[in-house]
Structure 1
Amino acid sequence: MISAIGSPAAATATTTSTQANASGGSDFDTFLKMLTAQLKNQDPLNPMEGTDFAVQLATFSGVEQQTQSNKLLAQLVSQLGGGGGLGQTADWIGKEARTTEPVWFGDAALTLDVKPDSSADSVTLLALNANGREVTREEIGPGSGQIEWLGRDDDGQKLPDGMYSFVIESNRKGELISEDAVGVYAKVVETQMGDHGIEVTFENGGSALASAITALRDPA
């Protein structure tokens, strides 16, 4: 199992982004102060010529556009850099990622990583369908580790193909003491930049933010 961690390149990208924003913002603020001071202190009997003022405004517009360009460039560097950027997550394609989001269940068993409360004396695994409705409930016993989920109902019949997520209930002396989402492994087929950050897409559907992936491994 390979944990998803950052790299020195991520720090470089972050530093570049910060420096670019700071430099652009500083130049823009300085220009505004200079222009404001010039307008306040001009001689009312000999005001600035219209052509000179137009040049000043054109310069103002140019500085503003340059600032925006610097911000966009900083964002691009951050996205294409190492660490949590697309440059690294592209290497996740073909690997199996651990997520608590719904994943596809078909013919093959799913690997679940269960971590109940350490003080529990009994643990129940719940399987939820794509609508979040409970479809199976089974006792799995206390203890942490990986288990294979075969997707069978109480009669031993295979559940329909579809998206499933999992929850464990930890109990002690008959009382519920915790309820936690279960990590499940799914194969990564794509990574892309979304509205809330880098998104990882799984085989046969389902997705999760890259920041929510807690482990990676080579396919079993």
Structure 2
Amino acid sequence: MTTDPTALSAASAAAAGSGTSVSSAASASLSADYEAFLQLLTAQVANQDPLEPMDSTTFVSQLAQLSQVEQAIQTNSNLETIASQLASASSFADVALIGKTVSLSSSSFELGESGGAELSYRLADNASSVSATILAADGTELRRIEGLPTSAGEAHGFTWDGNDYAGLPLPPGRYEVEIRATGADGKAVSYETFTQATVDSVVFEQGQSLLSLDNGETVAASSVRAVE
């Protein structure tokens, strides 16, 4: 009698689907293995030939294997408990973000009633020229800001006043920012854009913290790049 790893894997998959912890499912499977092992051992002892008693070495070896599996399951159970506690502590720590202004890795941002938006970007490599283009939700180009910093490795901030090319204020709503960075070789330089928003509340779902922002977005706490 040996413990079948495939059976334990199936138990793990069933646990994931039912919400039961993997260690609990594995422990239940191991308990069944122990019971079957003892039944088999009892049957063989009861029916052995007294003149040729069975070799107990195999049973001792299999019992040792079951004990090792049991210890591994207990270790996994302890690790699951620790991971759950750490996740809970991290989630409650995210509550401190409520009311804070955070920078997020995103190209989408909200233009408020007051007009203007604070944006930033980070280049992967140094560039010879950098500009930012403000786009409407449908992709229409509304404004381009030229002469932005070209160095890599740090976040560069810039402000859009909320006006279009004609100097007319645009209505509040959702807009996109696109960075156009060109290297000395004429090739495009990759980048990451950041936008700012204020955290209104924190929602806990499926073991992670989701931040509800004042611009109407809900994002994972892990997407926050900086807190002001």
Normalising by the smaller structure, the TM-score range is 0.5 to 0.7
State, as a whole percentage, how many aligned pairs show the same letter: 20
**Partners of 1:39 and 1:202 in 2: CA distance:** 60
How many residue pairs are counted as aligned between the two chains? 174
Paired residues of 1:97 and 1:187 also in contact (CA < 8 A): yes
Does 2:105 align with 1:100?
yes
**Post-superposition shift, 1:26?**
6.5
Q: Alpha-carbon deviations, 1:130-154, whole Å to 9, x = none?
A: 4566543331333452222212211
Partner secondary structure for residue 40 of structure 2:
helix
Q: Based on CA coordinates, which of the two structures has the bigger radius of gyration?
A: 2
- CA pair 80-104 structure 1, distance change in 2 beyond 3 A: same
Alignment RMSD (CA, Å): 3.6
Amino acid at match of 2:133: L
- CA pair 137-158 structure 1, distance change in 2 beyond 3 A: same
Structure 2, gaps ≥5 residues long: 1-20, 47-73
**Post-superposition shift, 1:155?**
0.5
The match for 2:127 among 117, 120, 123 is: 120
Structure 1, gaps ≥5 residues long: 1-20, 47-66
Amino acid at match of 1:104: E
- CA pair 182-140 structure 1, distance change in 2 beyond 3 A: farther
Partner secondary structure for residue 188 of structure 2:
strand
Aligned to 2:33: 33
Aligned to 1:80: 88
Aligned to 2:212: 201
The match for 2:143 among 136, 145, 170 is: 136
Q: Which has the higher contact order (CA 8 A, sep 6+)?
A: 1
Question: Given the two structures, how large is their TM-score scaled by the length of structure 1?
Answer: 0.63
**Partners of 1:179 and 1:31 in 2: CA distance:** 55
**Post-superposition shift, 1:205?**
0.8
**Partners of 2:92 and 2:26 in 1: CA distance:** 30
